[in-house]
């Protein structure tokens, strides 16, 4: 496989994961990247997607486009999360196969595993128990996408592979105060509280849930290697192997940002899944030992990205949330 000369479409290149994939491919000398913004190509429109694939004929596709968000966004807009994600992945996977794409990589999410999975989570635990209710519509859409990849492989011989990344953070994240995932949301809150000299920050939940975090450029490196070296129906978890409590994460971000106030926890708000650590034995068997960015270094680079780019990067995908917050 020649990713340097092949035509590569990165769907969602302006997002956290897509941007990191583009950075890594570019650093490795990829010459024919095909990139389209949402304004240039609406992936929820079947006709537009089919016309794009018929014209561009990409050899390889990284399907990193998705509607994503934290607990509040998932709880407030469940219809949008299931509708948009089903549409995006269905149109891209089908048109890629239809128009001769040689290989497609689909990104799942660790949140699609059952809420109370044994730890660490093995790939075969998928669909062995109930999902976390707060993001069930998103999870169901992602499960449909990975099953679609497997079905197209079985019926049509389409080389579609599925990866399951853990919780991600890094440059290019969404720092919206209501819509963001935990790391970028906390970075923004601590930064703004530092500037306003706020005496205390209250964080949703108890602070006790454990989470595994992976720096997004480490993910991108693993995805490109899997695209080059893996071809199979089995899901591949991609994680760091290290977990931290939400309370410890908040303290680490407070230290990186330089916030001097107190940190409190609102026990009336939901915690979400109590623990979520991926078993990455399959990834390690395929790729060998991989170096991972430590959390403090990753947070420092992410905070630098926030300070440099956040004002122009705040794209509100859920305008209703901001309106509700003002009432």
The 10s digit of each residue's pLDDT in 104-135 is 999 999 989 998 899 999 999 999 999 988 89
The b-or-e profile of 214-252 (16+ CB within 10 A means b, else e) is: bbbbbbbbbbbbbbeebeeeebbbbbbbebbebbebbeb
Query: Model confidence over 228-256: pLDDT tens digits?
Result: 999 999 999 999 988 999 999 999 999 99
Residues in the chain: 327
- The CB density around residue 46, as the number of other CB atoms within 10 Å, is 14
Q: Is the pLDDT of residue 257 over 70?
A: yes
Q: Could you tell me the residue range of the domain that residue 37 belongs to? A: 7-326
- Kindly report whether the global pTM for this prediction surpasses the value 0.85: yes
pLDDT at 322: 39
Give the span between the Cα atoms of 214 and 218, in whole angstroms: 7
What whole-number distance in Å separates Cα of residue 64 and Cα of residue 56? Answer: 18
Would you say residue 134 lies in a domain? yes
Question: Is 266 a domain residue?
Answer: yes
To the question of whether residue 108 is assigned a binding role by annotation, the answer is: yes
pLDDT at 323: 38
- Going by pLDDT thresholds of 50, 70 and 90, the confidence category of residue 202 is very high
Domain membership flag for residue 242? yes
211 neighbors 182 (Cβ within 8 angstroms): yes
Tell me if 109 is assigned to a ligand binding site. yes
Assess whether pLDDT exceeds 90 at residue 69: no
- Region 37-65 average pLDDT: 97
215 given a catalytic annotation: no
Question: Does the annotation place 240 within a ligand binding site?
Answer: no
DSSP state for residue 176 in the 8-state scheme: -
- Report the pLDDT value the prediction gives residue 62, as an integer from 0 to 100: 98
The answer, yes or no, to whether residue 282 has pLDDT greater than 90, is yes
Total domains in the fold of the chain: 1
pLDDT at 306 over 50: yes
Residue 2 domain-assigned (yes or no) = no
Comparing 46 with 177, the larger pLDDT belongs to: 46
**Band of pLDDT at residue 101, cut at 50, 70 and 90:** very high
Tell whether residue 5 is among the known ligand binding residues. Answer: no
Low-confidence winner among 68-72, 167-171, 199-203 (lowest mean pLDDT): 68-72
**Residue 28, domain CATH:** 3.40.50.720
Report pLDDT digits (tens) over 5-17. 899 999 999 999 9
* pLDDT surpassing 70 at residue 21: yes
pLDDT at position 1 is 65
Residue 216 lies in a domain: yes
The pLDDT value recorded for residue 311 is 59
CB 54 within 8 A of CB 103: no
Q: Is residue 91 part of a domain?
A: yes
Residue 286, marked binder: no
Q: Please give the mean pLDDT across all residues of the chain.
A: 91
Exposed (0-12), middle (13-18) or buried (19+): which is 175, by Cβ within 10 Å?
buried
Tell me if 10 is assigned to a ligand binding site.
Answer: no
Question: One of 113, 138, 152, 259 is an active-site residue; which one?
Answer: 138
Q: Is the pLDDT of residue 264 over 70?
A: yes
275 within 8 A of 230, measured Cβ to Cβ: no
């Amino acid at each position: 496989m020649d990713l340097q000369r092949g035509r590569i479409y990165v769907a969602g290149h302006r997002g956290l994961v897509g941007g990191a994939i583009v950075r890594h491919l570019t650093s490795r000398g990829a010459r024919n990247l095909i990139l389209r913004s949402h304004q240039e190509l609406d992936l929820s429109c079947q006709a537009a997607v089919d016309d794009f694939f018929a014209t561009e004929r990409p050899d390889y596709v990284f399907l990193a486009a998705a509607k994503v968000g934290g607990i509040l966004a998932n709880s407030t807009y469940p219809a949008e999360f299931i509708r948009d994600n089903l549409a995006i992945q269905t149109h891209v996977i089908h048109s890629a196969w239809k128009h001769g794409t040689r290989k497609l990589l689909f990104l799942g999410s660790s949140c699609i595993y059952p809420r109370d999975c044994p730890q660490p989570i093995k790939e075969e635990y998928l669909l062995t128990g109930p999902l976390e209710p707060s993001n069930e519509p998103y999870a169901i859409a992602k499960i449909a996408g990975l099953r679609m990849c497997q079905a197209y492989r079985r019926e049509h011989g389409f080389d579609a592979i599925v990866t399951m990344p853990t919780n991600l953070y890094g440059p290019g994240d969404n720092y919206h105060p209501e819509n963001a995932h935990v790391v970028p949301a906390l970075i923004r809150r601590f930064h703004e509280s530092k500037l306003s000299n706020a005496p205390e920050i209250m964080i949703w939940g108890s602070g006790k849930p454990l989470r595994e975090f992976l720096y997004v450029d480490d993910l991108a490196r693993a995805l490109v290697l899997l695209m080059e070296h893996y071809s199979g129906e089995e899901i591949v978890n991609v994680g760091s192997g290290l977990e931290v409590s939400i309370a410890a994460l908040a303290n680490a971000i407070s230290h990186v940002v330089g916030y001097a106030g107190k940190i409190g926890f609102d026990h009336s708000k939901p915690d979400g899944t109590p623990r979520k650590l991926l078993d990455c034995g399959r990834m390690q068997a395929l790729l060998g030992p991989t170096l991972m960015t430590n959390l403090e270094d990753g947070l420092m680079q992410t905070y630098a990205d926030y300070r440099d780019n956040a004002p122009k990067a705040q794209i509100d995908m859920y305008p209703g949330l901001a309106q509700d917050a003002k009432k």
